[in-house]
Structure formats: structure tokens, C-alpha cells
């Protein structure tokens, strides 16, 4: 992410601390950037535009390198417990759409069938909850990095999945209204009384009210077919001063110490096939690196990116990084069967898919190769002067 000078940072600029909302912004003087590309690979140095207008900032926060453990990997050192899943109070989920369809032995949602080629069955739900646990380790237990203040009143979780994030936010903010949206009705039956779930497609016209204090999306930048439309709609329905946050994993394997050959690595080939397969469903897996451009075009200010390295496997020396790597490795292994439908769309038959999956499993389990992914946290604020940012419009 080049071209941006590092700002002078004090305690209030550190996104690892929750801070009160920033003061009203002055008028932005920089022109609106061109429409970002939504197809093809995105070079990392284009991850954010160079121009720095008023009320904007960016932070990069990740280790320069991850130190590898010299001894053998020992996964049984971990008691892989999730974060506190207990809930202070419960009530029944309100939803009437509980239809599913089955394909290749895996279950998919029926609502907008074909829109999203990943299953919604128990195996996939466990994988999603494991990724949530990984993220909580990555952030030292913080479910968000945006400085939303101590008393948000309306929070919406777009692409809520199993609802685990929304439920935790309901417990953290018992006085807030929490709404989780998803295509699949897979959320639990008992949730905090201030949490509710709806089956909805965020790429339709917005039908979820206005004056939201905080909008959260995880793993959504790479699956939304029209990211700009979604960001624009969110902008329109946020309160002035409200925050949006994307939490996005970029699954391209990287390596800093030369143990991975980028020309022959099986995981690199696996990534390339994933990009090709998901593109046939209108999805760009490289989107996590460029979310900031879409936020800027919509009119957001105080655009901040926190980029962290997540190891694939338990090869790091640091114990927390090893636990993160264990979660990432297990999620990668479980994704192989989840991607069966997408790979079949490339013309790979069942035998080809199984043979290739075996090679990927072997590569993932090889602790001598020190791969990692990037994980991006993008967050930004709607200006208090809601006349700003006509790409996103004002409140409706």
C-alpha cells in the first residue's frame, strides 16, 4: 500500500483502542476517485489511492515478518476454545424462511439459490465459527476496530452467517438494537432479546431502515457482485458520524522466507482456481485489498486500513500466532469440500476434484512451508455534514 505518508499518531489514532467518535469533518477538497475495477487481479500497491483529502487517515499495522518455530509443530498444545459464547438473555429468532436444497451431499440455502455457491450446513457453520474465533485471537478479543463509542443504538451485521458476531454485540451493548442479515436461515433459535435476524439480500434495494450507528460486514467484499452499490446504500442509511467496517481475509498465499516457491506451490494453484471459479458467480476474491476505494467513492471519511498477517499452519514461534495458524489451516482444509460446487463449474469432475484436493491437503499440512494470508480491517465514517459525498447521497 504505497504512496501514503504515515500520519503522526497519538493514542487517539491507534485503532486497537476504542475511542469516541471523531469531531465533525470539514469539507473534503479532493475529487471523487474513479470507479474501482471489479474484475481481475488487483496489485497490492493499488490497495488504496494516493490522494489524501481532509478527514482521512490510514494505518498499517502488521508484523514485518512472522518468526518460525525451529522445532516440530505441536498442535495438541492448544485447547481450541472459542470466545465466550454464553449469552445473558435469550428470545426466539423471528424468521419464516427455513427452506434448503442439497447438491453433491452438501446443503445450500434455497433463498436466491445459485447466488452464493458455498454450503450452509453444519460443517460450513462450524468453519465460519472457527474463522470468528481466529479473528478474535487476531484482534485480542475485539469484535470490531471502529471507534464507535460506548453507546451505539443501532447496529447491523450484513452477512451475519451463524449470527455469532451479532450475538456477541448484543451482549456487549444490551441497550442497542442489533440486526443480522443473511441469505441463509441458519442462526440459532435463542439469542439476546435485543438481537433479531432477517433473511435478506443486501444487493437488493435497501429495506432495513435508517439511522444506523454501525454497519459491520465480514467476508462480504469478495462475494458482493456490486460492492459499490452496497457501500452506497449503507452510506445513505448510516447516521451522520456513523461507522462502517469490513473484515476481510485475502486468501492468496504469501511467504517471506523463501520456503514457498510461488511458481510451483500447490496452494498458489489452488488460489488461482478459486479466483477463476468464483468469478463465474460474479465474485472477485481480490476485493479485500481495495475496499478503501469504494468507501472513498461513496463519500466516507477517516478511512482506515489495518492489515495483519495470518499464518497457514502452526509453524510460527509465537503461541498466539500458532493458534491463529491452526484455525486458518483447519478452515482451509474444510473449504475443500465446500468449494466442490464452484470447482465443478470449472468442468472438473469428481475424480479430478478429489485428486487435486488431496494435493492441497498435503500442502496445507506441510509445516516446512511458511505461508500466510493477509487479513484486512477497513473502517470509515460518514461525515457529520451529510451533504458531503454525493456518490452515497444523504440520509433518507
Q: pTM score > 0.75 for this model?
A: no
pLDDT in tens, 251-276: 999 999 999 999 999 999 999 999 99
pLDDT the model gives residue 391: 41
Report, as an integer, the average pLDDT of 82-95: 38
pLDDT the model gives residue 17: 35
Residue with cell 423471528: 94
Percent of the chain with pLDDT over 90: 44
Report, as an integer, the average pLDDT of 274-284: 89
pLDDT the model gives residue 283: 87
pLDDT the model gives residue 5: 35
CA 246 to chain centre: 6
pLDDT the model gives residue 337: 76
pLDDT the model gives residue 1: 40
180 vs 65, which has greater pLDDT?
180
Q: Over 50: is that where the pLDDT of 21 sits?
A: no
**Residue (of 305, 307, 309, 308) closest to 254 by Cα position:** 309
pLDDT the model gives residue 127: 60
pLDDT the model gives residue 164: 87
Q: Over 90: is that where the pLDDT of 307 sits?
A: yes
pLDDT the model gives residue 186: 61
Q: Over 90: is that where the pLDDT of 112 sits?
A: no
CA atoms within 13 A on the CB side of 60: 13
Q: How confident is the model at residue 26 (pLDDT cuts 50, 70, 90)?
A: very low
pLDDT the model gives residue 30: 39
Contact 146, 243 (CB under 8 A): yes
pLDDT the model gives residue 199: 80
pLDDT the model gives residue 122: 56
Give Rg (Cα) of the chain.
Answer: 21
Average pLDDT, the chain: 75
Report, as an integer, the average pLDDT of 10-19: 35
Q: Over 70: is that where the pLDDT of 383 sits?
A: yes
Contact 212, 178 (CB under 8 A): no
Please report the sign of the dihedral spanned by the C-alpha atoms of residue 374, residue 15, residue 210, residue 182.
Answer: positive
- Give residue limits of the domains in the chain: 93-382
126 vs 396, which has greater pLDDT?
126
Q: Over 60: is that where the pLDDT of 8 sits?
A: no
Q: Over 90: is that where the pLDDT of 143 sits?
A: yes
DSSP string for 243-282: EEEEEEEEEEEE-SSS-S-TTT-HHHHHHHHHHHHHHTTT
DSSP string for 147-192: ---S---EEEEET-TTSHHHHHHHHH-TTSEEEEEESS--S-SEE-
**What's domain 93-382's superfamily in CATH?**
Vaccinia Virus protein VP39 (3.40.50.150)
Amino acid at each position: 500500500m504505497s504512496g501514503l505518508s504515515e500520519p503522526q499518531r497519538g493514542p487517539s489514532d491507534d485503532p486497537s483502542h476504542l475511542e469516541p467518535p471523531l469531531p465533525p469533518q470539514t469539507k473534503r477538497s479532493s475529487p471523487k476517485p474513479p470507479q474501482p475495477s471489479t474484475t481481475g487481479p488487483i496489485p497490492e500497491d493499488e490497495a488504496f489511492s494516493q490522494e489524501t483529502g481532509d478527514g482521512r487517515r490510514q494505518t498499517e499495522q502488521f508484523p514485518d515478518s512472522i518468526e518460525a518455530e525451529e522445532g516440530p509443530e505441536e498442535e495438541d498444545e492448544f485447547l481450541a476454545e472459542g470466545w465466550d459464547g454464553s449469552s445473558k438473555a435469550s428470545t426466539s429468532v423471528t424468521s419464516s424462511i427455513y427452506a434448503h436444497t442439497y447438491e453433491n451431499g452438501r446443503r445450500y440455502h434455497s433463498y436466491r439459490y445459485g447466488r452464493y455457491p458455498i454450503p450452509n450446513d453444519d460443517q460450513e457453520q462450524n468453519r465460519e465459527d472457527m474463522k470468528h474465533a481466529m479473528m478474535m485471537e487476531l484482534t485480542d478479543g475485539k469484535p470490531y476496530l471502529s471507534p464507535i463509542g460506548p453507546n451505539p443504538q443501532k447496529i447491523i451485521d450484513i452477512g451475519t452467517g451463524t449470527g455469532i458476531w451479532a450475538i456477541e454485540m448484543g451482549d456487549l451493548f444490551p441497550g442497542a438494537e442489533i440486526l443480522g442479515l443473511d441469505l441463509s436461515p441458519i442462526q440459532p433459535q435463542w439469542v439476546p432479546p435485543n438481537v433479531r435476524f432477517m433473511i435478506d439480500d443486501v444487493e437488493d434495494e435497501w429495506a432495513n431502515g435508517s439511522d444506523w450507528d454501525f454497519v459491520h460486514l465480514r467476508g462480504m467484499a469478495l462475494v458482493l457482485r456490486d460492492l459499490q452499490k452496497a457501500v452506497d446504500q449503507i452510506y445513505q442509511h448510516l447516521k451522520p458520524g456513523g461507522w462502517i467496517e469490513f473484515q476481510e481475509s485475502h486468501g492468496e498465499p504469501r511467504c517471506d522466507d523463501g520456503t514457498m516457491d510461488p511458481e510451483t506451490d500447490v496452494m498458489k494453484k489452488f488460489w488461482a482456481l478459486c479466483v477463476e471459479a468464483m468469478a463465474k458467480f460474479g465474485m472477485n476474491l481480490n476485493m479485500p485489498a481495495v475496499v478503501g476505494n469504494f468507501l472513498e467513492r461513496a463519500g466516507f471519511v477517516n478511512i482506515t486500513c489495518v492489515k495483519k498477517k495470518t499464518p497457514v499452519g502452526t509453524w510460527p514461534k509465537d503461541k498466539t500466532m500458532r493458534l491463529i495458524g491452526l484455525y486458518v489451516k483447519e478452515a482451509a482444509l474444510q473449504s475443500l469440500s465446500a468449494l466442490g460446487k464452484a470447482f465443478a463449474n470449472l468442468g472438473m469432475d469428481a475424480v479430478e476434484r478429489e485428486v487435486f484436493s488431496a494435493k492441497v491437503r498435503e500442502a496445507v499440512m506441510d509445516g516446512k512451508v511458511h505461508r500466510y494470508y493477509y487479513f484486512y480491517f477497513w473502517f470509515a465514517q460518514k461525515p457529520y455534514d451529510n451533504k458531503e459525498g454525493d456518490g452515497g447521497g444523504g440520509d433518507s
